[in-house]
Amino acid sequence: MIYTGGTIGMRKDIQTGALVPFDFSRLIDQIPELQLIDKKIDTVSFENPIDSSNIQPRHWQLLADIIAENYDNYDGFVILHGSDTMAYTASALSFMLENLSKPVILTGSQLPIGDLRTDAKENIITSIQIAGSYNGEKPIVPEVGIYFEFKLLRGNRTVKASSEHFNAFDAPNYLPLAQSGVDLKFFRDRILNPPDGIFNVQKNLVENIIVLKIHPALTKDYLSYIINIPKLKAIILETYGSGNAPTEPWFIDLLQSVVTKKGIHLINITQCQRGSISPEKYETGRKLMAIGTFDGKDMTTEAALTKMMYLLGKKLSKKAVKSAFERPIRGEMTI
């Protein structure tokens, strides 16, 4: 179990009442029920635990290193993480951990572990059970997932949907991989099959990517400024509905110059919570297709961003990047 920081790892100081980091070497003291799990649980913590709002790609690389260094020694891994950026971390790890054949389960909580009404205990206990669930010698969930409030979701399909409810996460376009109730029920047909290749970590991520949400007040000056950011490699366009955007000549011309003159990758995803883009349906979408945008289908923003960071880090040709982006490589999209 790897503790990165976040609400789940806090407790109230008896004297001051302030929230202070919890000592995870004394985890059993806080959750004695863990002694009932027939697994040996080791814990490691970031040297300086951080609020998840401060998570950066270097922290994903650190997590990947920890998993790689311990990969052969454990049945699975549980990452305790703040909820604000958990979907980004889960998405990034799903791509970085190539040929992953063991469970990597992220979880957290909306209330600190020492709070009377905390959701931390159930989330931790069930996440550990999932990470250690095997069918013979084969793990039941050989992929990156997020467990929160009785549901296991595919990590790169997940978004944070609530800042105040215990069911903080949703996977808008994919059903849960498992459901916790009286029994822990796995939905095997929704879970990825273990890959055949050798486990490998790719830590090279290209960070020169921006996310641009299309909106009615978007101006020519603003878009011109964005596309001229130095060293920019890709723009993820959050478009309307099924992949639509303005057809004003200045808008299309600027985006066309991005592709043809600057060699910047343009990705089209919907800003809607559910559904996929179908840019061929309307003229407003076909204009984007004509200038060479990538089809993001039903990917989340978190998945689209981290997948592009990962693919650009592989130093592929533009054609190869587009081909890889538009097909599922970790179950992140529906085709």
Two tokens, residue 144: 């990156």
- In this predicted model, what pLDDT tens digit does every residue of 56-112 receive, in sequence order? 999 999 999 999 999 999 999 999 999 999 999 999 999 999 999 999 999 998 887
Residue 8 confidence (pLDDT): 78
Tokens of 67: 């998993």
In a domain, 262, yes or no: yes
Q: Are residues 139 and 220 in the same domain?
A: no
Whole-structure pTM over 0.85, yes or no?
A: yes
Residues 188 and 213 in one domain: no
Residues 227 and 275 in one domain: yes
pLDDT surpassing 90 at residue 197: yes
Same structural domain for residues 226 and 280? yes
pLDDT score of 28: 65
Q: Which structure tokens are listed for 276?
A: 């996929």
- Beta carbons of 298 and 276 less than 8 angstroms apart: yes
Residue with the two structure tokens 């639509």: 244
**Does 237 lie in the same domain as 128?**
no
Q: Are strands 97-98 and 200-201 parallel, antiparallel or unpaired?
A: antiparallel
**Is there a single domain that holds both residue 290 and residue 157?**
no
Q: Where does a domain end: 148, 183, 201?
A: 201
Measured CA to CA, the distance from residue 272 to residue 82 in angstroms comes to 24
Our measurement of the distance from residue 91's CA atom to the centroid of its chain's CA atoms, rounded to an integer in Å, reads: 3
Among 176, 201, 226, give the residue marking a domain's end.
201
DSSP-assigned letters across all residues of 257-314: HHHHTT--EEEEEESSSSS---GGGSHHHHHHHHTT-EE-TT--HHHHHHHHHHHHHT
pLDDT in tens, 164-177: 778 889 999 999 99
Taking the alpha carbons of 176, 182, 184, 186 in that order, is the dihedral positive or negative? negative
For the annotated catalytic residues, the residue numbers are 7
Q: Rounded CA gap, 312 and 322, in Å?
A: 10
Whether residue 191 is found in the same domain as residue 218: no
On whether both 176 and 261 belong to a single domain, the answer is: no
**What single-letter DSSP state applies at residue 34?**
G
Name the average pLDDT for the chain. 92
- The residue from 201, 225, 258 where one domain ends is 201
Structural domain count, the chain: 2
Show Cβ contacts of residue 75 under 8 Å, excluding neighbours closer than 6 positions.
Answer: 39, 102, 103, 131, 132, 134, 139
Residue 330 maps to a domain = no
- Residues 8, 72 within the same domain: yes
Percent of the chain past pLDDT 90, that is, above it, reads: 73
DSSP state of 326: T
Q: Which domain holds residue 279?
A: 209-325
Q: What is the pLDDT of residue 163?
A: 83
Tell whether 181 and 243 lie within a shared domain. no
